[in-house]
Structure 1
Amino acid sequence: MDHSSTSEEVHRSVHAQIAKLKRISDDVHSESASIFEPGPSSLGRRESVDTDFSSPSSPAVPAPEKKLTLFALRLAVLEKSATGIGALSFIWATVVLLGGFAVTLTNTDFWFITTILLIEGTRIFSRSHELEWQHQAAWSLTESGINSFRFLQSSSSSVWKSLMSIFKRISSGSTNDRQIKQVPTKAVRPKWDGKHLMTRRWETSDVPLLPYASWVFLASNISKILQLLQIAAAVTCVILSLIKLIIQNYGEIEKGDTDKRNRKAALSIFYGLALAEALLFLLEKIYWEYKVIYHKVLEKVNEECDLGSSGIVSVRRFFYDAYSKCVEGSIFDGLKMDMVTFAMELLSSSSPDEQLMGAGILRKFAMGERFSDDTLQKIGINFSTVERLIEMLNWKEPQEEEIRKAAADILSKLAGKKQNSLRIAGIPGAMESISSLLYSHRTSNSAAEEIGEKSMIVDQEHYDFWTINNLGLLILKKLARDHENCGKIGNTRGLLPKIIDFTHAEERLLMGNNIAESQIQMVKRSLQVVKRLASTTGATGKQLRREISENVFTISNVRDILRYGKKHPELQFLGIEILTSLAMEDDATERIGGTGGILKELVNIFFNYDMPEQENHVRTAAGEALVMLALESKQNCQRILKLGALQRLVEGLEVELLCQNAARILRNLCTYSAEESFPELREIMPAAPTVLKGIVLEENRLQEVMLGLAAYAFKFMTYEDSNNMFERAGIQEEKLAEVLVEILKKYQYPPIRFPRIRRFTIELAIWMMRDPTHIHIFKNLGLKNELENVLDTTSELECLSIFAGPVGLNRYRTSMQSLVETALSLLEDK
């Protein structure tokens, strides 16, 4: 067999197995996604649309900035070599030549040496201070580096434009003593696009060192002047040294003149050292230009980092810092730098430009796929950086908007991992800072006035509220995955009402055609946060559900979504799940049922046969909500019956999608028939054959719900009705009794997916044993032994009707032991 074909078959086989496993996994998930059986966690139960899960760790990606740190290392080797040789030549000249026999030098050599020492001293001086100015000039040089010849290559038109700009600045009097920060109040607001905004302090790159001709003495221009001085000094040194080394006219040495016998060698050594130093420096510059201009290393690193067109400034600044470390300290110090650490240092700066640069780098790396894991790990373990990001969420000035959005973006990504979300929520004031991101458009003016945010009121027309709000809700959504964080969200003053306020969606928004996606996204995220809070377990969950249901806007907002949200089934699904979770509390159940239209909308959605198949989960959720609202609530059961839903529920037993929840709702409606007279419940009897077939012919969960309905629905039947039911179904009483006993034998321990099957089986057996002939049948089938076995294997699982994850919330009034004892007593009576 051909090796390639064999490999292809194996490949297809593996893919088929994976697909099969995926289908099995999906089936298990869909079967277990219910509030009526225990699950691993309430917060992890049936996550609805737009759920973010932490992606698995991806393989390590080489850091692009390594190219820059290696480049800086090589440059530093050349620079330090040149500096070392320069120092040696300086010592040689001062000690050996000028200090030792200056009087014996020729006039030419004396001035050559003096000139070389002066220009080399100038170069060394300018070099020692150049790195100081590089950091400052890096902000304004977006097209060329400090140590670059590009500015010498500009066209005549560019030079002319530069000169005109200079004269214009001089004529406009740009040497004001001090610039005072101004908050714009006009419609056109300055954006932070890389240019400096006016601040209350000088930016070092804009400092005029002299009161006149300040354009010459700006930091960026000084760095260029220093650069030119170095190059001119090196070239002059090369020329002078070569002239002397080639001509070697060191003067004649008279015979017997011992003072001049070593002059030629000494001068040759000096000129050789000076030449070597200058050539090394020029080699460094050539290498620099080759990498920066022709190889475009800065642009390539910027492209690999995906920092965008403005990112070149960040890359250049990083390179200058790495180079400075290599030159000023050990040549290996620059290798310890990376872009993430560099950005975190900038984030802690007091300069707005540096803060924005740092936040921009971290946002790009955190949001990108390649570097996200490594970046988030470094940020997460740096407590001061996380604290700084949270602090930035409180910055409400319009000119700080970009930094604020960047910080929120980073935190939203950081909160995606559980350990980081706990770290974020654990910082004092974190929840209050996140709360500050939420501005309700219905109440923002009054809220801002209360806290004195007048500048925000003035400029709120141009402030990007949609993005800020969405980011705040996204952070809360991810934080709410953890139980402890849910409690902190609930305990933060004013935060819960803000979240609920964002669930408001008017008819125009839900039914409109040209609605911004960000508006729908904001409603969806707020619903997701409320859903997660409402589904929290324990005492925290009870408190949150109480506070959510007591908010007068919660239920009415959900009602509007159910009523007008046909175009947005994902919003309807989230609203329904909120109602289901709130219905775990008795007070909330009555409050929901008493809100006009809620039950009606749920019934309409549950029986909406026109819904596309891909939206079936919305109908299923509506059924579960009706089950919860009817559970142990006489008022809600009566309200459902008044809606005329009984006949539709009976018909729903024949529909595969609806039958389980329809059976549960009918069971709840039948529960109170003995306490209150509901004559219309007799309409359920035509469905009895369907129920009976479901018990005998079906298995697992459907069999369980049919058993549960039968135990309560059959009690409306007379003896004649019972006989007619068995005849219509084509099933004998003995067959049903046999099935019930077999169920107790088969399920000696209650399955998690349908934990109440034995309870419902015993309830139906008790109903059947009202007829003495059935008692003998059960005795012959060995029901007594099975009931005694149930007493020995009863678990807590069978005593509960609903669950929040692994926690049972509602206990049956009749215990399993009491049911078994009732059945045993009936068996012993005959």
Structure 2
Amino acid sequence: MGNELDAFSEELRRRLEVRIINKYAVVTAYVRITLKSIGALLLLWATVVLLGGFVSSMKKDDFWSVTIIAFVQAAGVFEAIGFAGMDLYWETQDFYHNVKSWLQKCWCVLNQLPMRQWWKKQIQKVVSVLIVITLYVRAVLVLGLAVSGPCVCLHASSRATNQDYGIADGEAIKANMKRALNLFYNAVSAHSFISVFWMPAQALANKLIEDIVSRQHGFSRKVIRAYLRKTKDMCLKNKTSATSWNFITYGAGLLDSSLPEEYAAGGRVLTMLIDKDIPSQVRRLLIRSPRQRIQKLIDTLAWRSPADQEMTWLAARIVEHLASDLNLAHFPGALECISSLFNQLPVVSGQGTKNLVLPGLRILENLAHDEDNCRAIYNSKGLLSKIVAPLRSNELVQDIKSSAAWTKVVHGSLTVVTKLMSTCAGATGKEMRGLIADDSHVVGNLEAVIDIKSDSSITSLQVGALTVLIQSAVHNPASTFTERLIKRALHIFISTDWTGDYLNHDKNRMKEAKRTANLLKQNAGGALEILSSHPEAIKSFTVCDDDIHRLTELLDCNIKSTECKISATETVEIEISISCRISAAVILKHLSKYDKEPTLRKALEQLFPIQQDEPIKDRTLQALLLSLVVEICENSNIDLAVILLQQTPSDSLEDFVVSLKKMVEDNMYGPGECLAIHKLSCRMVTELMKHDRNIQVIDKRNIVGTLLEASKAMAELESSMLFSGFNHYDRYGVPLKPLLSVLSKNTEDLLTQKKQALGIYTVPASVPIPLP
């Protein structure tokens, strides 16, 4: 944890505002402190040395010059009014704009008062005008002092060249006074000159930094200006604080303010940073902040006042990016506040109309990462019906075709429903899936969404609809819509007819259309993979020989793409992804009533290719093809050895054993796919040992010894899986038990028994052969 915090702090220190703005603020702080210290010394010299020691000998002009300079220094015009005044001078445009906006807002409110309150309206108008005049007078005074203070001191110090104190009479006190005055006047001249130069130079530097940061990184000038002013004030108090200060801490700090304007400013800063593709840093810092800060943001979601609409939107954006790290149990009333977003009108601002429904759905989507959160969302009164409401619309398909904004809302609703279905386990997940499966109107709408023939803009929506229907079909595999879903998904997965029509509809964006078409195929394959693995849903699969042939062709890695005809003379190639090949292997493994020999030959060709072919590099596909081969051999009358002899020349059995051994060696150390490969290899070797003619080859190549070595390498992985309770079948059809060590030992024992029966010299594979 300490290393993570150090890395996070270092990442923040490398941020732009830390490297540029904060360093500039430290420099200005040193300059201001230096000028302030010099001013204090000049004040001390004027009061103690000159006015205290030589006041009786000083001429009238020198007396008033020193007194005026002392008063200006004592008032702190240089370090306080001066620099702040120059900042105000360069911000007059914003100042006038803010005052004008405030005055217009006041008058707008006053004009809405009824006529019977006419006198009250006039009095308040006069008061508002007086307030504005006062603000303008104050601004003029500050600007006047900012410019005139150093100039007055500079003019007063010109007495250094007009002194006429004579020392010929031998009065040492006058000689000393003249030296003291010359030193004082020269120091004041230098101090005033530097101050006069530094104030506009600092203002110009402020504008330059604003331009650089705003132009290169798109940050708001108003935010940069406010951050720079705050950073300068901090550095004057503590220069080391700049190292841990940045836009994120600045915005987070403003969230704690009790002033509405500062609270809104903090929301704007953090939202701006989120929009600049740095939400992870904002999230990490806010998650580490006090819980009441996050609770305040959540409570803001329920604000209903029109004046608070902007802050409600900003809070929703921030909570959206925090939601994946939140536990609803720690924030009472959070779901009620989130639910209120679905009842509010869109926020109208200078940047357009913003719909609060979308951030509300995204908040729920991110909260659904946690099972406890999912359970709370499901049990929240009325919230679930609001989430599913877009899917129950009577004109869902028509609205999707006509409105891009409504399409986003439907997609958000589908995403939340999918998360709730997939994350919830036990009774809650079952009830959630049943809620959708039993709603025929929702199911019909989702089926209609899948059937929409449109461009790539709604592909993600179709993928979401397909995912929700899969979960519903798993809940009720015997339903009629499960069979319809399988037919739709199978058509999308293996057919090219719809693909040609789809690409022809979106020819202007062919590259994007091909990508989304491939994505839809992958998700259809994933749906069929899940449904074929279900013991009840597999009964709804009805496939013909042509379907089996197309699925088998997908296993062939030498076929890189499929050809789609988009017109009478034009065709387009769509790449076949690894994901599609994996899904085809799983589907073929679970289907039973088809001629499996061609599929077995194709799988063997891919697993153990001839020398000129490139072997499969994807471990998942490798393990699934191996699982397909083992499944076919163990559950049919096909003799693997005979198939191998027919594949290639007569020595192919030995080549096969060598290739299988190499596969085990290449996957000796690795994740769960490697463990599945080893276990499936044990089963394949056991299958080969059913025939005595294969024993000698297996013994000669010592593949059993390699499997025993692999069992030792995988022992820790298996123990950790046992400890975590992972004790079920995976997608490869390989249970955790029996362990690999048991399977490999059983394979060794079987080999020993076979060798003894055949009279072959017997040395267990686990015992090394002694050297002569």
TM-score by length of 1: 0.59
Aligned match of 1:125 = 75
Does 2:435 match 1:551? yes
Is the 8 Å Cα contact of residues 392 and 445 (structure 2) preserved in structure 1?
Answer: yes
Is the 8 Å Cα contact of residues 529 and 586 (structure 2) preserved in structure 1?
Answer: yes
Deviation at 1:690, TM superposition (A): 1.3
Question: Aligned ranges for residues 292-691 of structure 1 at < 5 Å?
Answer: 292=203, 296-306=204-214, 311-324=220-233, 329=237, 338-368=246-276, 378-383=285-290, 386=294, 389-410=297-318, 421-422=324-325, 424-425=326-327, 428-429=330-331, 432=334, 436=338, 439=341, 444=342, 448=343, 456-457=344-345, 468-474=356-362, 477=365, 498-501=386-389, 506-511=396-401, 515-516=403-404, 519-524=406-411, 526-536=413-423, 540-543=424-427, 545-552=429-436, 555=443, 558-564=446-452, 567=455, 568-580=458-470, 588-590=475-477, 594=481, 597-610=484-497, 611=499, 614=515, 615-634=517-536, 636-641=537-542, 648-649=547-548, 652-656=551-555, 661=583, 664-665=586-587, 668=590, 670=592, 684=594, 687-691=595-599
Deviation at 1:77, TM superposition (A): 1.5
CA distance 1:93–1:510, shift in 2 (3 Å): same
Does 2:127 match 1:226? no
Deviation at 1:627, TM superposition (A): 4.0
Deviation at 1:298, TM superposition (A): 1.4
Is the 8 Å Cα contact of residues 46 and 70 (structure 2) preserved in structure 1?
Answer: no
Is the 8 Å Cα contact of residues 77 and 331 (structure 1) preserved in structure 2?
Answer: no
1:80 to 34, 37, 61: 37
Give deviations 1:80-136, integer Å, cap 9, x for gaps: 3124312431344553355xx3xx766x44xx635763675367437399559959x
Is the 8 Å Cα contact of residues 466 and 524 (structure 2) preserved in structure 1?
Answer: yes
**Cα distance between partner residues in 2 of 1:116 and 1:345:** 45
Deviation at 1:637, TM superposition (A): 4.2
Deviation at 1:380, TM superposition (A): 4.7
Is the 8 Å Cα contact of residues 393 and 434 (structure 1) preserved in structure 2?
Answer: no
Question: Aligned ranges for residues 55-66 of structure 1 at < 5 Å?
Answer: 61=16, 62-66=19-23
Deviation at 1:277, TM superposition (A): 3.5
**Cα distance between partner residues in 2 of 1:764 and 1:173:** 81
Is the 8 Å Cα contact of residues 593 and 599 (structure 1) preserved in structure 2?
Answer: no
- Structure 2, unaligned runs of 5 or more: 1-7, 114-123, 504-513, 556-575, 608-621, 755-772
CA distance 1:139–1:743, shift in 2 (3 Å): same
Moved more, 430-439 or 57-66: 430-439
Is the 8 Å Cα contact of residues 367 and 413 (structure 1) preserved in structure 2?
Answer: no
**Cα distance between partner residues in 2 of 1:778 and 1:706:** 18
Is the 8 Å Cα contact of residues 695 and 706 (structure 1) preserved in structure 2?
Answer: yes
**Cα distance between partner residues in 2 of 1:786 and 1:525:** 53
CA distance 1:67–1:738, shift in 2 (3 Å): closer
CA distance 1:273–1:738, shift in 2 (3 Å): closer
CA distance 1:766–1:737, shift in 2 (3 Å): farther
User: CA RMSD for the aligned pairs?
Assistant: 6.4
2:52 to 72, 91, 95: 95
Aligned match of 1:67 = 24
Is the 8 Å Cα contact of residues 551 and 584 (structure 2) preserved in structure 1?
Answer: yes
Give deviations 1:5-54, integer Å, cap 9, x for gaps: xxxxxxxxxxxxxxxxxxxxxxxxxxxxxxxxxxxxxxxxxxxxxxxxx9
Deviation at 1:246, TM superposition (A): 0.2
**Cα distance between partner residues in 2 of 1:214 and 1:331:** 37
Letter in 2 for 1:127: V
Deviation at 1:400, TM superposition (A): 3.4
Is the 8 Å Cα contact of residues 340 and 362 (structure 1) preserved in structure 2?
Answer: yes
Deviation at 1:71, TM superposition (A): 2.0
CA distance 1:89–1:324, shift in 2 (3 Å): farther
**Cα distance between partner residues in 1 of 2:392 and 2:469:** 15
Aligned match of 1:188 = none
Does 2:176 match 1:290? no
Aligned match of 2:764 = none
**Cα distance between partner residues in 2 of 1:600 and 1:520:** 25
Aligned match of 1:217 = 134
TM-score by length of 2: 0.63
**Cα distance between partner residues in 2 of 1:426 and 1:354:** 27
- Structure 1, unaligned runs of 5 or more: 1-53, 152-157, 184-206, 416-420, 449-455, 671-680, 716-721
Letter in 2 for 1:428: H
Deviation at 1:74, TM superposition (A): 0.8
Aligned match of 1:14 = none
**Cα distance between partner residues in 2 of 1:778 and 1:244:** 114
Letter in 2 for 1:561: V
CA distance 1:134–1:392, shift in 2 (3 Å): farther
Is the 8 Å Cα contact of residues 433 and 471 (structure 2) preserved in structure 1?
Answer: no
Deviation at 1:436, TM superposition (A): 1.6
Is the 8 Å Cα contact of residues 298 and 338 (structure 2) preserved in structure 1?
Answer: no
Give deviations 1:565-589, integer Å, cap 9, x for gaps: 6533333334444555666xx6x14
**Cα distance between partner residues in 2 of 1:268 and 1:762:** 103
Deviation at 1:486, TM superposition (A): 6.0
Moved more, 788-797 or 750-759: 788-797
CA distance 1:331–1:89, shift in 2 (3 Å): farther
Q: Secondary structure at the match of 1:349?
A: coil
Deviation at 1:289, TM superposition (A): 0.7
Give deviations 1:392-440, integer Å, cap 9, x for gaps: 444454443444444444555567xxxxx53x4478228926972785x
Is the 8 Å Cα contact of residues 76 and 323 (structure 1) preserved in structure 2?
Answer: no
Does 2:269 match 1:269? no
CA distance 1:129–1:145, shift in 2 (3 Å): farther
1:142 to 76, 79, 91: 91
**Cα distance between partner residues in 2 of 1:609 and 1:81:** 83
CA distance 1:664–1:315, shift in 2 (3 Å): closer
Deviation at 1:284, TM superposition (A): 1.1
**Cα distance between partner residues in 1 of 2:239 and 2:552:** 79
Letter in 2 for 1:359: G
Deviation at 1:240, TM superposition (A): 4.2
Deviation at 1:549, TM superposition (A): 0.7
